[in-house]
């Protein structure tokens, strides 16, 4: 007993003398190239009719072209894919909508010619993950704004290349994070910003989606291959994007540290073998969890699971000092004044939870600022994940046409994509805390919370 007390005293004395040990893995933040400034609130000259070139016309790109046939104020000038059949499929979409044929680009490297055209304002990228950043950088270097599917970057090197190029060229670089435009997320954001849940102190997001039916449908099996080769949360943006908007990340707060932990890959290798691959050395755990802490003392939990039959979930849970909102697995709202509806001593879960209908009527008190009845009706009719894809596209084009800052900038892209490589670093270091760089390089508290820009 004496010995035990003595050793506790020695450890305590050491802590006082040396301070707690810092286990954080630090990553390098490259200096901002001389003469460049940040692009927080970047605006560019208004573009009356936005001329677009699409690169990547597979499952996602093909449906994007279709959505844009319903978009006012745009011209689809050029389309590009590795495969001839995808190009002709999109030409048929245009013809069916009564629109002129677009210029066609097909095959390896053809995307560069599309980016080099003089008559394009926006390059819209829906290729697989490996080519996103290279295309984004090249498009901006050729004077184009660029919108890139998720995740727009897969490494810190790619992230910094996109940031540096956007800052240098003053071109917009937006990640196409459609989940920020789903109706529940937009309503809960409006309610949270109005203080309905008190101060939001913790949030959860996820991408749980059993991809069994899809693995074989991706071009050259790119998605399973990526999971085979990479650890960390390789698809974090659907979970992280909407909650970062609520927390005002790089708009008054910032992510400072993360820790990641994953399971072994149990199902991943089986999927590989089932498709003729080796399955050996499969990197990505079936389940990856990343816990993030912010400068203002908030936390975020993000999960990734594309390998098990766990039901589809993006989680989207907001925990506030005075309330709670959740989209998955149950659509719920709790507010403090009637939080404890059932005070029976031994009954757990006695909190008053609003039913889906009640939750919707609570949220309906906080109108979504960007949603007009006409936009909602068109979005639901055109479709795309229930309408959110169209709203995202609509906002992108509206802001470009009016010369406004976009809803999502290159720093959002960076923050939402960095979980891949930073999580892999954490896992490789025994789940150590890893520093999250300030991708704005000093501009993270210039703004006070997330807001949408509107034309005057
Ligand atoms: N936001 C969402 O809800 C959502 C949903 C699905 C997919 N996605 C994202 O969309 C992107 C595409 O996914 P997908 O499901 O359409 O995959 P896909 O395999 O169906 O399509 C990819 C297409 O890109 C083309 N391509 C690849 N490299 C190219 C290059 N260098 N030049 C021209 N074309 C090239 C391929 O030929 C293929 O047609 C991915 O980033 C994915 O994560 C997002």
Which tens digits make up the pLDDT trace of 22-49? 899 999 999 999 999 999 999 999 999 9
> Is the pLDDT confidence value at 6 over 60?
no
Report residue 427 CA to chain centroid gap. 21
Tokens 């039916």, located at residue: 213
10 Å CB burial of residue 92 (0-12, 13-18, 19+) is exposed
Which tens digits make up the pLDDT trace of 396-441? 999 999 999 999 999 999 999 999 999 999 999 999 999 999 999 9
The best mutation among 127, 154, 227 to test binding of ligand 1, ranked by most ligand atoms within 8 Å of the C-beta, falls on 127
Which tens digits make up the pLDDT trace of 255-299? 999 999 999 999 999 988 988 888 889 999 999 999 999 999 999
Tell me the CA distances in angstroms from 224 to 59, 281, 366, one per residue in order: 16, 13, 41
Q: Which atom of ligand 1 is nearest to the CA of 148?
A: 41
Rounded distance between C-alpha atoms, residue 384 and residue 59, angstroms? 12
* Residue located nearest, by CA, to atom 11 of ligand 1: 126
Say if residues 413 and 159 touch (Cβ distance below 8 Å).
Answer: yes
Say if residues 25 and 435 touch (Cβ distance below 8 Å).
Answer: yes
Which tens digits make up the pLDDT trace of 88-147? 999 999 999 999 999 999 999 999 999 999 999 999 999 999 999 999 999 999 999 999
Question: What is the reported pLDDT for 8?
Answer: 55
Q: Which atom of ligand 1 is nearest to the CA of 176?
A: 1
Q: Is 111 in the pocket of ligand 1 (CB under 6 A)?
A: yes
Which tens digits make up the pLDDT trace of 303-362? 999 999 999 999 999 999 999 999 999 888 988 766 555 555 555 555 677 778 888 888
> Is the pLDDT confidence value at 57 over 80?
yes
Q: Is 185 in the pocket of ligand 1 (CB under 6 A)?
A: no
The best mutation among 55, 58, 67, 177 to test binding of ligand 1, ranked by most ligand atoms within 8 Å of the C-beta, falls on 58
The best mutation among 61, 236, 240 to test binding of ligand 1, ranked by most ligand atoms within 8 Å of the C-beta, falls on 61
Q: Ligand 1 centroid vs 270 CA: distance in angstroms?
A: 24
Question: What is the reported pLDDT for 341?
Answer: 53
State what percent of residues in the chain have pLDDT above 70: 93
Q: Ligand 1 centroid vs 219 CA: distance in angstroms?
A: 8
Q: Which atom of ligand 1 is nearest to the CA of 57?
A: 39
Tokens 């003089």, located at residue: 118
> Is the pLDDT confidence value at 222 over 60?
yes
10 Å CB burial of residue 103 (0-12, 13-18, 19+) is middle
Q: Ligand 1 centroid vs 141 CA: distance in angstroms?
A: 22
Rounded distance between C-alpha atoms, residue 292 and residue 28, angstroms? 18
Question: What is the reported pLDDT for 7?
Answer: 58
The pLDDT mean for the chain works out to 93
Q: Is 60 in the pocket of ligand 1 (CB under 6 A)?
A: yes
Q: Ligand 1 centroid vs 205 CA: distance in angstroms?
A: 23
DSSP 345: T
Q: Which of 61-75, 229-243, 287-301, 347-361 has the lowest mean pLDDT?
A: 347-361
Helices marked H in 170-312: 183-193, 222-229, 237-247, 268-274
Rounded distance between C-alpha atoms, residue 334 and residue 61, angstroms? 39
Q: Is 61 in the pocket of ligand 1 (CB under 6 A)?
A: yes
Q: Is 150 in the pocket of ligand 1 (CB under 6 A)?
A: yes
Q: Report which of residues 340 and 190 the model is more confident about.
A: 190
Q: Is 215 in the pocket of ligand 1 (CB under 6 A)?
A: no
Which tens digits make up the pLDDT trace of 79-101? 999 999 999 999 999 999 999 99
């Amino acid at each position: 007993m004496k010995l035990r007390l003595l050793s506790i005293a020695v450890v305590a004395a050491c802590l006082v003398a040396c301070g707690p040990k810092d286990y954080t893995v630090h990553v390098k933040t490259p200096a901002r190239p001389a003469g460049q400034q940040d692009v927080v609130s970047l605006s560019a000259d208004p573009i009356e009719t936005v001329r677009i070139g699409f690169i990547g016309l597979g499952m996602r790109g093909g449906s994007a072209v279709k959505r844009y046939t319903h978009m006012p104020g745009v011209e689809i000038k050029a389309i590009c894919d590795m495969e001839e059949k995808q190009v002709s499929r999109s030409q048929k979409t245009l013809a069916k909508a009564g629109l002129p044929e677009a210029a066609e680009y097909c095959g390896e490297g053809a995307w560069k010619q599309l980016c080099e055209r003089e008559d394009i304002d926006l390059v819209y990228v829906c290729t697989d993950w490996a080519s996103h950043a290279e295309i984004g950088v090249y498009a901006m270097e050729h004077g184009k704004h660029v919108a890139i599917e998720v995740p727009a970057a897969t490494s810190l090197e790619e992230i910094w290349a996109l940031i540096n190029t956007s800052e240098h060229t003053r071109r917009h670089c937006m990640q196409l994070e459609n989940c920020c435009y789903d109706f529940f997320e937009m309503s809960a954001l409006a309610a949270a910003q109005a203080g309905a849940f008190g101060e939001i102190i913790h949030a959860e997001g996820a991408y749980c989606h059993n991809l069994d039916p899809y693995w074989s449908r991706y071009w050259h099996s790119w998605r399973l291959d990526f999971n085979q080769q990479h650890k960390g949360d390789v698809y974090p943006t659907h979970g992280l994007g909407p909650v970062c908007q609520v927390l005002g990340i790089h708009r008054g707060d910032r992510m400072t540290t993360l820790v990641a932990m994953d399971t072994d890959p149990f199902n991943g290798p089986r999927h590989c073998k089932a498709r003729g691959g080796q399955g050996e050395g499969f990197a990505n755990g079936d389940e990856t969890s990343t816990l993030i802490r912010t400068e203002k003392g908030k936390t975020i939990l993000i999960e990734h699971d594309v390998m098990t039959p766990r039901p589809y979930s993006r989680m989207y849970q907001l925990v506030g000092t005075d309330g709670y909102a959740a989209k998955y697995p149950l659509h719920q709202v709790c507010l403090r004044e009637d939080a404890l509806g059932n005070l029976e001593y031994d009954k757990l879960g006695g909190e008053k939870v609003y039913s889906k209908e009640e939750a919707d009527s609570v949220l309906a008190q906080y109108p979504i600022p960007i949603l007009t009845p006409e936009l909602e009706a068109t979005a639901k009719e055109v479709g795309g994940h229930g309408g959110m894809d169209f709203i995202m596209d609509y906002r992108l084009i509206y802001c470009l046409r009016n010369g406004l800052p976009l809803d999502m900038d290159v720093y959002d892209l960076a923050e939402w994509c960095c979980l891949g490589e930073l999580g892999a670093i954490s896992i490789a270091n025994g789940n150590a805390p890893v520093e999250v760089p300030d991708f704005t390089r000093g501009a993270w508290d210039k703004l006070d919370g997330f807001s949408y820009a509107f034309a005057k």
